[in-house]
Amino acid sequence: METSLGEIILELDIEKAPVSVENFITYAQAGHYDGTIFHRVIKGFMVQGGGLTSEMQEKPTREPIVNEARNKLKNKTGTVAMARTQEVDSATAQFFINTDDNKFLDNTGTDPDNFGYAVFGKVVDGMDVVYTIEQQATTKMAGYDDVPKEPIVIKQVTVID
C-alpha cells in the first residue's frame, strides 16, 4: 500500500479470513483504493481508510460481506480489520489498522454489540508510516470527525502473491 506518507506492507490471512481477504484483494485489483484517503484517524486507537476521496466523497462499493470476526484473530496493534456500521454484516471496502491492542473490538458473542470487527491481516512493514498517519492533526470535515487536516492519500494498493 503506497500512501502519501510512505509504504505499508500487509500480510493477509486467507486461511482464517477468506471472505475479507478476497474482498480486499478484489477492491485493490479494481483500483478502488487508489486515490482514497485515511479519513478517520484517532491517536491510541486506529487509522481508517479505503472509502472516501480527498474531496470527502464516498466511493461506490459492492454488496456488504459476511463478518468473519469469529475467526479468533484479535484486534491487536498492527492488525488490519474490516470497518463496518452497527450492522454486523455491513463491511464493504473500508478497513482500519489498529494502533493499539483494541480488545473491545474482538468477538465476544453473537449479538450485534459483541460480534466484533473482522481482522484479516497485519502490517509486516511500515508500522512507522501507520504511526506517522496516527500523529497527524485532525478536524471535523463534511460531517466526519477525526479527519486529517492534510489529506493522507492511498496512492495505490498492489497485490503480490
Q: Provide the H-helix boundaries in the chain.
A: 18-29, 127-134
Pick from 47, 58, 54: which is nearest to 150 by CA? 54
- Distance from CA of residue 116 to its chain's centroid? 14
pLDDT digits (tens, 9 = 90+) for 91-147: 999 999 999 999 999 999 999 999 999 999 999 999 999 999 999 999 999 999 999
pLDDT of 88 reads: 97
Pick from 133, 96, 109: which is nearest to 7 by CA? 133
pLDDT digits (tens, 9 = 90+) for 46-77: 999 999 999 999 999 999 999 999 999 999 99
For residue 128, which phi and psi values (nearest 5 degrees)?
-60, -35
Predicted TM-score (pTM) of the model is 0.98
Interatomic CA distance for residues 112 and 3, integer angstroms: 33
Task: Report CA torsion sign: 156, 129, 20, 52.
Answer: negative
The answer on pLDDT for 161 being more than 90 is no
> Which residue is listed with cell 454488496?
63
Number of H helices, E strands in the chain: 2, 11
Pick from 7, 40, 39, 11: which is nearest to 24 by CA? 11
pLDDT of 146 reads: 98
